Amino acid sequence: MSNPSLLILPGDGIGPEVMAEVRKVIDWFGKNRDLAFDVSEDLVGGSAYDKHGTPLHDDTMAKAQEVDAVLLGAVGGPKYDALDFSVKPERGLLRLRKEMDLFSNLRPAQCFDALADFSSLKKDVVAGLDIMIVRELTSGIYFGEPRGIFKEGNERIGINTQRYTESEIARVARSAFELARKRGNKVCSMEKANVMESGILWREVVTEVHQAEYADVELSHMYADAGAMQLCRWPKQFDVIVTDNLFGDLLSDAAAMLTGSLGMLPSASLGAPMANGRPKALYEPVHGSAPDIAGQGKANPIACVLSFAMALRYSFDQGEEADRLEKAVEKVLADGARTADLLGEDGAKPISTSEMGDAIVAALTASL
Ligand code: IPM
Ligand code: MG
């Protein structure tokens, strides 16, 4: 049988340097765990624009549809700020999400013991935190029509449309309930049913799916603004949070910061199963391209490494190997390895991006 295929899209800013560390980890699994991948690499975002005049070439899009999983670094940077909206680096990422129909975006927020002091919240509020935000990723206000900037009378008017069909809500709700069954068996659904009709429908459909198929899972509802407040007040009350595209974007950044650093958090974007039974899938760190530190060896590769761990778990059915990789990360942190983003005020010397990658690989080897 041929090896599973991975398309790597390092992207812009720190994307290429964190991805280089993931390549070390992928090679390690090939050499030591009989888990070799056919890896190909291509451009996305600003780097694709520089070469092709588009943030995602059609050939790259076609490749992404064919492979078993896509691993993406980050896109964007100030260099591209002035570009027309239609060719901005972010459009490349949004096209991948939309055309692969990656409707379920899993964003775990986990607080590593060694880092509980880095959170801006008190240690007992975040120590041991382990929540999963399931963000709807292919619809809602990010994609709804009509959209645009129009002229009305003698002024301009900017329009975006929040739009959800029942089936779009139902499928992401199912993915949240399925995940909850493998975790703490609790789902909290967030919308603003108090002010938005799409929120009323969201709440109704989530409730219907729950009653018909997942009555064994505990379900609660919260307005998204109250949810944001509760995330800061006592985040450990949550297990799985399911929410729409825009609220999920905001709430996942807030949840990420509870854990101390955005440089730590991975994500998986999953779609329907392909012919081989694997879900369409794209894995990427939650952090952005961090152009201010790009190319200096300062970036933390952990979010991207942990995104590969999610690929092992969700695309390749290698839960034990995913655990091994996550434990290796936990071990290097417990041993005191810190990239610059994880330093307190004690004047300790940070290690570089590649030193962090090497430390993770060494911890993997020690795990054998
Ligand atoms: C994210 C990012 C993206 C989004 C941007 C880069 C388009 O913020 O993945 O959370 O808004 O979805
Ligand atoms: Mg975001």
Q: Is the per-residue pLDDT at 86 higher than 70?
A: yes
The reply to whether 242 and 279 lie within a common domain is no
pLDDT at 251: 96
Q: Are residues 102 and 136 in the same domain?
A: no
Q: Closest Cα to residue 108, out of 176, 166, 161?
A: 176
Among 231, 258, 285, give the residue marking a domain's end: 258
Say whether both 69 and 185 belong to one domain. no
User: Do residue 267 and residue 243 come from a single domain?
Assistant: no
Percent above pLDDT 70 for the chain: 99
The domain that holds 87 is classified in CATH as 3.40.718.10
How many Å lie between the centroid of ligand 2 and the Cα of residue 253? Answer: 6
Q: Whose CA is nearest to atom 7 of ligand 1?
A: 90
Q: Identify the domain boundary among 215, 231, 258.
A: 258
The 10s digit of each residue's pLDDT in 104-118 is 999 999 998 888 888
Q: What local confidence, expressed as pLDDT, does residue 224 receive?
A: 98
Residue 174 shares a structural domain with residue 63: no
Q: Are residues 240 and 289 in the same domain?
A: no
The answer to whether position 162 is within a domain reads: yes
pTM: 0.95
Residue that is last in its domain, among 240, 258, 276: 258
Which ligand sits closest to the CA of 74?
Answer: 1
Q: What is the per-residue pLDDT for 2?
A: 87
Pairing of strands 186-191, 240-243: parallel
User: What is the spatial distance between Cα 10 and Cα 47, in angstroms, rounded to a whole number?
Assistant: 9
- pLDDT bin (cut points 50, 70, 90) of residue 349 is confident
Say yes or no: 181 and 137 in one domain.
yes
The string of pLDDT tens digits covering residues 159-180 is 999 999 999 999 999 999 999 9
The model's confidence at residue 346, banded by pLDDT at 50, 70 and 90, is low
Same domain, residue pair 14 and 64: yes
Residue 33 CA to ligand 2 center (angstroms) comes to 34
Q: Whole-number mean pLDDT of the chain?
A: 95
361: containing domain: 1-108+262-368
Say whether both 198 and 235 belong to one domain: yes
The number of folded domains in the chain is: 2
Q: Could you say which of 214, 249, 280, 331 is catalytic?
A: 249
211 & 288 share domain:
no
**d(C-alpha 130, C-alpha 169), whole Å:** 24
On whether residue 113 sits in a domain, the answer given is no
pLDDT higher than 80, residue 262: no
pLDDT of the residue at 116: 87
Does 348 score more than 80 pLDDT?
no
Q: Say if 122 falls within a structural domain.
A: no
192 is catalytic: yes
Has residue 11 got a pLDDT over 90?
A: yes
Query: Would you call 225 a catalytic residue per the annotation?
Result: yes
Looking at residues 278-304, what average pLDDT do you find? 95
Cα-based distances in Å from 86 to 45, 59, 92, 159, 333: 12, 18, 9, 16, 41
Atom 12 of ligand 1: nearest residue by CA position = 249
pLDDT number for residue 53? 97
Provide the angle, in degrees to the nearest 10, between the axes of the packed helices 302-314 and 353-366.
40
307 plus 356 within the same structural domain: yes
Q: Would you call the peptide bond into 146 cis, given omega within 30 degrees of 0 as the criterion?
A: yes
Taking the C-alpha atoms of residue 276 and residue 348, their distance in angstroms, rounded to an integer, is 48
- Both 169 and 195 in one domain: the answer is yes
Q: Using an 8 Å Cβ cutoff, are 47 and 74 in contact?
A: no
Residue 115 lies in a domain: no
Q: Residue 330: phi, psi to the nearest 5? A: -60, -40
Radius of gyration of the chain (CA): 20
pLDDT at position 114: 85
124 within a domain of the structure (yes/no)? no
